């Protein structure tokens, strides 16, 4: 059995990056081929608290390359803190006690509620670096 590297967070809120310019949550552009950000956005916005971070990353990065879930997670993967949704498009992500994720646009009451919830681990998306 290979060691697996999970990207899941529990009882955590990941706020947008400090250098994110989005004033609200924006849908990544719909184009072909679909960007990773768009694929992640569609999965998460379509089923809030239906998937874990591992589910989303595997469906958008591992499965399209024909990798098995074991193979994909046998190496460490960038977590949702590194995703464009929080770096560029203005989406915070709340990870509940089961590790299931939902997106909340910056500036919304729900986003503010999670960002100020001291019972949650508070993280920020990684800065864009440009």
Question: pLDDT by residue (tens digit) across 41-56?
Answer: 999 999 999 999 999 9
Q: pLDDT per residue over 84-112, tens digit each? A: 999 999 999 999 999 999 999 999 999 99
Give the model's pLDDT for residue 67: 96
- E strands, 6-76, are 12-15
Please answer whether residues 61 and 74 qualify as being in contact, where contact means their C-beta atoms are separated by less than 8 angstroms. Answer: no
CB atoms within 10 A of CB 31: 8
- E strands, 27-120, are 91-95, 101-105
Please answer whether residues 83 and 63 qualify as being in contact, where contact means their C-beta atoms are separated by less than 8 angstroms. Answer: no
CB atoms within 10 A of CB 52: 20
Q: What are phi and psi of 45, to 5 degrees?
A: -75, -25
């Amino acid at each position: 059995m290979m060691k697996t590297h999970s990207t899941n967070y529990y009882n955590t809120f990941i706020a947008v990056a400090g250098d994110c310019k989005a004033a609200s949550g924006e849908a990544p552009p719909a184009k072909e081929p679909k960007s990773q950000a768009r694929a992640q956005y569609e999965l998460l916005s379509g089923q809030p608290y239906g998937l874990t971070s591992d589910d989303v990353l595997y469906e958008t990065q591992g499965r399209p390359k024909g990798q098995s879930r074991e193979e994909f997670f046998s190496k460490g993967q960038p977590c949702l803190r590194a995703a464009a949704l929080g770096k560029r498009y203005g989406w915070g992500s709340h990870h509940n006690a089961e590790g299931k994720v939902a997106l909340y646009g910056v500036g919304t009451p729900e986003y503010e509620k999670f960002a100020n919830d001291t019972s949650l681990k508070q993280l920020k998306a990684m800065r864009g670096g440009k």
